[in-house]
């Protein structure tokens, strides 16, 4: 995924949530000042392999085997802690630093990559935590245009950013333990973000010409939303990234 391909989706997200693009760009620039380049070939052993993209929904506790059996585990936010409690180590964590940044910092010090995301609402966390991360194992990310060491490989929430990152570095099969789009315990804002995560994963599976089981029953709504973004005749499902 490159930013020109992602930008129409990003603009639709900004419009839907009323987010400020300039605020995202300021956060990105703060991260750029604090981060160092992270060559993505450090994730080269993901290529062609089965990658578990672990979400942080309560069902993860019952789906640990799906992560344990994968070749690579990329975990969103607190999914890392759930997996660790059950003896499953992760190969990468994706986080916007809002719940367990101390876990993320510790992982980098142990040589585990962490994709740390900067957006308009988390600049204080970026300033506080990025200096505590081991530079060599920190991939700074943004949802705005990439600058310097800060990358944008696609995605919006921690979970779907993890999936887009895995795709970007050539992952084979993607499996999704710990995902629940209709979690009744989340607040309305989180529910809207989960709707967008479903749309983005639908876009990703179209680009990959495959189907993710977690999207069963959600494709029609996601396709309608994507059609509004790209236009009815767009080849958005196979656009180069």
What is the model's pLDDT at position 239? 42
What is the model's pLDDT at position 234? 42
Crossing angle of the two packed helices 219-230 and 188-208, in degrees rounded to 10: 80
Domains and CATH numbers, the chain: 3-232 (3.90.1480)
User: Based on the number of CB atoms within 10 Å of its own CB, is 223 exposed (0-12), middle (13-18) or buried (19 or more)?
Assistant: middle
What is the model's pLDDT at position 147? 98
Q: Which two tokens stand for residue 216?
A: 């069963």
What is the model's pLDDT at position 232? 54
Residues 6+ apart with CB under 8 A from 221: 198
pLDDT means per 10 residues, the chain with 241 residues, are 95 97 98 97 93 97 98 98 98 97 98 98 98 98 98 97 98 97 90 97 96 97 96 48 38
C-beta atoms surrounding 34 within 10 Å: 20
Q: CA-to-CA distance for 91 and 146, rounded, in angstroms?
A: 24
Q: Which two tokens stand for residue 81?
A: 């802690």
What is the model's pLDDT at position 235? 44
Q: In what order do the strands lie in the sheet with 92-95?
A: 138-142, 114-118, 92-95, 72-76, 51-54, 174-175
Q: Which two tokens stand for residue 192?
A: 């809207």
Backbone phi, psi, residue 34, to 5°: -100, -20
What is the model's pLDDT at position 188? 93
- Model pTM? 0.94
What is the model's pLDDT at position 44? 81
């Amino acid at each position: 995924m490159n930013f020109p391909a992602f930008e129409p989706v990003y603009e639709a997200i900004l419009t839907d949530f009323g987010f400020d693009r300039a605020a995202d760009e300021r956060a990105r620039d703060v991260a750029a000042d604090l981060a160092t380049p992270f060559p993505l070939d450090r994730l080269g052993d993901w290529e062609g392999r089965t990658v578990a993209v672990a979400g942080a929904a309560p069902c993860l506790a019952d789906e640990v085997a799906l992560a344990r059996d994968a070749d690579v585990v990329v975990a969103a936010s607190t999914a890392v802690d759930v997996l660790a409690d059950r003896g499953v180590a992760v190969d990468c964590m994706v986080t916007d630093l809002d719940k367990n940044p101390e876990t993320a910092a510790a992982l980098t010090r142990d040589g585990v990559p962490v994709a740390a995301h900067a957006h308009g609402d988390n600049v204080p966390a970026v300033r506080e935590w990025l200096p505590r991360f081991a530079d060599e194992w920190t991939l700074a990310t943004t949802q705005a245009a990439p600058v310097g060491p800060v990358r944008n490989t696609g995605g919006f929430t921690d979970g779907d950013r993890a999936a887009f990152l895995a795709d970007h570095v050539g992952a084979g099969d993607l499996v999704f333990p710990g995902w629940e789009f209709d979690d009744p315990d989340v607040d309305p804002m989180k529910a809207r973000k989960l709707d967008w995560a479903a749309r983005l994963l639908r876009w990703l599976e179209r680009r990959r010409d495959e189907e993710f089981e977690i999207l069963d029953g959600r494709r029609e709504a996601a396709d309608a939303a994507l059609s509004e973004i790209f236009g009815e005749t767009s080849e958005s499902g196979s656009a180069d990234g």
